[in-house]
């Protein structure tokens, strides 16, 4: 108490462990007290912890998996924490690989199932390499379990579950915060964000996904410290943004990003898109569709998601090239090149994702050609489903006439006779950017004719 009073008088900040309420001994909760259902555990997670324990090491399921178990949700991933070093862990498992530069971890594989095993981390040291803004670049300091708990980001992610004894070890009041639906960082928020600015994005993702309130002290520095994210490698920011957008609560995450002042610089294109009625509706529909698929356990393509987010930039440039005299399809390819060249560096888009985005965009004019053998050839395209779903989004947002989406729905699901019948139907409108019109040649005595369709 006297130390805290002196620190307050002198204006000295509390140490991270004091601010986080660090204890060397945790609160231990029995199976009856925490209520975790053992059937929600992965058999491979039990296999890893039991193997480590049988060889004389401590081993626990840790982090988000424990949080989800306490919430009654089956975790997607299981992380293990142990006092064994990475080399000691590697020796115990046939398929184990040490990875990581900032902090070494071990990936243990069982078939396609991957478990991440980390050694208890020790206290952060001043000697750890940092950049000029205070972000820790590399830190392989190992320590005790209570020190590891201090190093974790949020109280709800700093609990340890032992499958053998079915007990939960809680060092920082994580159980209480889960019950209060509160997200609270461990230690001094400013210091923790400076160590790793990506934690600010994690705050947003967890708050939106879990529908938790962010503790006032945890939220307060974010708006001011948001620019620190610019110093994080773009590939790491992209990984976190992808987790955010594919969390099953993408729209809620974006709203939380705006609320915390984190959207500027990360996805600046959303600011532009969401100010346009058609753009806002299109992005909202795309994110809602993504959320629905994830919540139903279906797969989602990152390429489709980013093709949707960047579509209105492509559309704007596509129309500009056509207005400058370029033909529709070459204009679309030029527009796609411009957008991808700009955003690949800004968002650290992987080549595969960029290729998928280009394929989805390039298919859109092809949906206009509903004559002869062209529709049948499109049915054979391996990207048909993604391109078709994208077309339906354009219809639903009001960008193009709903008739073309209805036609393709009937054609894809129809039998041979129904498809032949559909090919005799004259299209009402085109789907792509407005085509360049030519004035009809006619003699002075000729009667006016109805305008030709703009479909290609």
CATH class of 281-425: mainly alpha
Per-residue model confidence (pLDDT) at position 362: 96
Tell me the pairing of strands 113-119 and 159-162. unpaired
Tell me the pairing of strands 59-62 and 27-29. unpaired
Per-residue pLDDT at 143 exceeds 50 = yes
Give me the sheet containing 167-170, strands edge to edge: 27-29, 167-170, 159-162, 59-62, 79-82, 113-119, 105-110, 96-99
CA distance linking residue 262 with residue 198, whole number of Å: 11
Both tokens of 312, joined, read 């209105």
Per-residue model confidence (pLDDT) at position 268: 56
Residue 454, helix vs strand vs coil: coil
Dihedral of CA atoms 191, 197, 198, 201 in degrees, nearest 10, equals 90
Residue 452 banded pLDDT, cuts 50, 70, 90: very low
Residue 60, helix vs strand vs coil: strand
Mean pLDDT along residues 118-142: 67
Tell me the pairing of strands 105-110 and 113-119. antiparallel
Residue 130 banded pLDDT, cuts 50, 70, 90: low
Angle between helices 277-295 and 384-396 (to 10 degrees): 130
CA distance linking residue 57 with residue 50, whole number of Å: 9
Mean pLDDT along residues 320-337: 96
Domain with CATH 3.30.460.10 in the chain: 25-180
Mean pLDDT along residues 390-414: 95
Mean pLDDT along residues 222-250: 88
Describe the chain by its helix, strand, coil percentages, rounded to 5: 55, 10, 35
State the fold for domain 181-266. Answer: Hydrophobic Seed Protein (1.10.110)
Mean pLDDT along residues 276-302: 86
Q: Which residues are catalytic?
A: 77, 79, 153
Per-residue model confidence (pLDDT) at position 187: 93
**Cβ contact 218:267 at 8 Å:** no
The CA-based diameter of the chain, rounded to the nearest angstrom, is 104
CA distance linking residue 112 with residue 126, whole number of Å: 39
Nearest Cα neighbor of 121 from 145, 97, 102, 154 is 145
CA distance linking residue 270 with residue 334, whole number of Å: 22
Number of H helices, E strands in the chain: 23, 10
Nearest Cα neighbor of 135 from 191, 181, 53 is 191
Q: Which of 84-88, 131-135, 240-244, 400-404 has the lowest mean pLDDT?
A: 131-135
Q: Which of 100-109, 267-276, 338-347, 411-420 has the lowest mean pLDDT?
A: 267-276
Domain with CATH 1.10.3090.10 in the chain: 281-425
Nearest Cα neighbor of 117 from 138, 87, 146 is 87
Residue 444, helix vs strand vs coil: coil
Per-residue pLDDT at 266 exceeds 70 = no
Residue 230 banded pLDDT, cuts 50, 70, 90: confident
Half-sphere exposure of 355 (CA within 13 A, CB side): 4
Domain with CATH 1.10.110.30 in the chain: 181-266
Domain 25-180 = CATH 3.30.460.10: yes
Per-residue pLDDT at 69 exceeds 60 = yes
């Amino acid at each position: 108490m006297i130390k805290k009073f002196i620190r307050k008088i002198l204006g000295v900040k509390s140490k991270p462990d004091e601010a986080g309420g660090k204890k060397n001994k945790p609160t231990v909760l029995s199976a009856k007290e925490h209520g975790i259902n053992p059937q929600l555990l992965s058999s491979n997670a039990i296999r890893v912890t039991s193997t480590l324990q049988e060889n004389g090491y401590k081993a626990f399921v840790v982090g988000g998996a424990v949080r989800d178990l306490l919430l009654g949700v089956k975790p997607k991933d299981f992380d293990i924490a142990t006092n064994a070093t990475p080399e000691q862990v590697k020796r115990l498992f046939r398929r184990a690989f040490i990875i990581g530069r900032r902090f070494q971890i071990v990936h243990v594989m069982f078939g396609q199932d991957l478990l991440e095993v980390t050694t208890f981390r020790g206290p952060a040291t001043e000697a750890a390499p940092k950049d000029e803004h205070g972000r820790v670049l590399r830190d392989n300091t190992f320590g005790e379990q209570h020190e590891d708990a201090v190093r974790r980001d949020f109280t709800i992610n700093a609990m340890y579950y032992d499958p053998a004894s079915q007990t939960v070890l809680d060092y920082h009041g994580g159980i209480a915060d889960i019950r209060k639906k509160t997200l609270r960082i461990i230690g001094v928020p400013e210091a923790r964000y400076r160590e790793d600015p990506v934690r600010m994005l994690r705050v947003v993702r967890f708050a939106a996904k879990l529908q938790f309130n962010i503790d006032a002290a945890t939220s307060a520095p974010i708006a001011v410290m948001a620019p620190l994210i610019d110093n994080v490698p773009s590939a790491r920011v992209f990984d976190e943004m992808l987790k955010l957008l594919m969390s099953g609560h993408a729209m809620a995450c974006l709203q939380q990003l705006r609320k915390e002042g984190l959207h500027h610089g990360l996805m600046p294109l959303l600011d532009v898109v969401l100010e346009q009625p058609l753009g806002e509706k299109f992005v909202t529909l795309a994110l809602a569709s993504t959320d629905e698929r994830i919540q139903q356990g279906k797969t989602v393509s990152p390429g489709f998601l980013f093709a949707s987010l960047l579509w209105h930039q492509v559309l704007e440039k596509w129309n500009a090239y056509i207005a400058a005299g370029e033909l529709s399809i070459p204009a679309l390819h030029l527009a796609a090149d411009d957008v991808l060249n700009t955003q690949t560096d800004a968002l650290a888009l992987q080549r595969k994702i960029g290729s998928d985005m280009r394929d989805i965009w390039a298919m859109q004019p092809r949906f206009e050609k509903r004559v002869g053998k062209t529709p049948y050839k499109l049915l054979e395209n391996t990207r048909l489903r993604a391109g078709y779903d994208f077309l339906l989004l354009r219809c639903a947002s009001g960008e193009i006439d709903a008739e073309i989406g209805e036609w393709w729905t009937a054609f894809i699901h129809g039998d041979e006779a129904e498809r032949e019948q559909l090919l005799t139907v004259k299209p009402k409108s085109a789907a792509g950017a407005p085509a360049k019109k030519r004035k009809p040649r006619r003699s002075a005595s000729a009667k006016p004719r109805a305008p030709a369709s703009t479909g290609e």
